[in-house]
Amino acid sequence: MDYRVLLDDAMETARRSPERGRVADYIPALAQADPTAFGMAIATVDGEVFGAGDWRHPFSIQSVSKLFTLALALAEGGDGLWSGVGREPSGNPFNSLVQLETEQGIPRNPFINAGALIVTDRLLKLTGDAVGAVRGFLRAESGNPEVGVDDSVASSEARHGHRNAAMAHFMASYGNLRNPVDSVLAHYYAHCAITASCRDLALAGLFLARHGIRADGSRLLSRSEAKRINAVLLTCGTYDAAGEFAYRVGLPGKSGVGGGILAVLPGRGTVCVWSPGLDAAGNSVLGVAALDALTTATGWSVF
């Protein structure tokens, strides 16, 4: 089946919405993103990929990278990860610090920034190169050797990332980091600053639709681990808007402040959408609207 018509229709429906959101500017380098960019891709479990709009245009994947760091940390190190990070929705913004003190430096889940810093720390300990592990995985799964780190975005965030630095130091004070704060932050900013397109991310996320199997047929995760990542994506992947995302889209998904969202259709494929205008929770406005339109038209959902 050629899914391009479905994508065109979903994007057209999304464009009819009056909301456009705002491009993230708290990382100054991201403020240069084109607010009118809009692309969408579907990849199927057998590795076919279809796209519409700016689906081949690379963008800053930001928190979409957290899905891959989690998968790689679990693949490399197993369940020990969960002693340092929870898996409950936080009900707070992605960069919030408020729960960390009452919860003894153990972040609620791996997708809020504090939790992602813990996952990056563990992946760094396990591999010696967290950003290299994520970049290598994305290149291998997408077949695109040009997936890389935009150093100007990483250094722009490093100069303005006071909240992430505060969280990392705070968690270190509870003994919940295995590496020096500066190394953890550097790897975290770098994997967030990876640039990839909807096409690349849809292909790279397929292991979650294939219940843990990579593009080359090897197993990254057990079926059960893949199920668990999808579950945490559904409950926590879009932060304090995860309930609304489940209500509208009905799929596990991970958003990023670059405007990307990668959603998983277990057993069927993945959908990646990109549009830089964000809502108050940091999720792409047109991205959520297009996924809503697609799943509503097709009935594709985990429910």
Stretch that binds ligand DON, among 12-20, 39-47, 249-257, 267-275 (CB under 6 A): 249-257
Least Å distance between CB 217 and ligand DON? 31
- Using alpha carbons, select from 292, 263, 254 the residue that is nearest to residue 62: 254
275 interacts with ligand DON by CB under 6 A: no
285, 20 Cβ separation under 8 angstroms: yes
**Window 13-52: residues binding ligand DON (CB under 6 A):** none
Residue 249 carries which DSSP code?
A: T
92 interacts with ligand DON by CB under 6 A: no
Number of residues that bind ligand DON (CB under 6 A): 13
Stretch that binds ligand DON, among 5-13, 179-187, 202-210, 250-258 (CB under 6 A): 250-258
| Residue type for position 257 | V
The dihedrals phi and psi of 161, each to the nearest 5 degrees, come to: -85, 50
Least Å distance between CB 192 and ligand DON? 4
Tell me the per-residue interface mask from 182 to 211 with ligand DON, x by CB under 6 A, - otherwise: ----------x-------------------
Contact with ligand DON (CB under 6 A): which of 62, 176, 235, 270?
62
Q: Exposed, middle or buried, 199 (CB in 10 Å: 0-12/13-18/19+)? A: buried
Q: Which residues contact 57 (CB under 8 A, 6 or more apart)?
A: 37, 39, 197, 198, 274
- Nearer to ligand DON by C-beta: 93 or 266? 93
- Nearer to ligand DON by C-beta: 275 or 283? 283
Q: Per this entry, what is the length of the chain?
A: 303
Stretch that binds ligand DON, among 71-79, 81-89, 134-142, 252-260 (CB under 6 A): 252-260
Residue 26 carries which DSSP code?
A: S
- Nearer to ligand DON by C-beta: 157 or 225? 157
Query: 211 in the Ramachandran plot: left (φ > 0), alpha (ψ -120 to 50) or beta?
Result: left
The position carrying tokens 């004070």 is 173
**Window 115-144: residues binding ligand DON (CB under 6 A):** none
235 interacts with ligand DON by CB under 6 A: no
Cα–Cα dist 149/132, whole Å: 10
Question: 71-98 in b/e burial notation, b at 16+ Cβ within 10 A?
Answer: bbbbbeeeeebeebbbbebbeebbbbee
Cα–Cα dist 235/112, whole Å: 12
Q: What does the block give as tokens for 102? A: 């009452």
Least Å distance between CB 153 and ligand DON? 9
259 interacts with ligand DON by CB under 6 A: no
Question: 114-125 in b/e burial notation, b at 16+ Cβ within 10 A?
Answer: bbbbbbbbbbbb
Contact with ligand DON (CB under 6 A): which of 282, 285, 286, 289?
282
Least Å distance between CB 42 and ligand DON? 22
Per CB under 6 A, residues contacting ligand DON are 62-63, 94-95, 113, 157, 164, 192, 255-257, 282-283
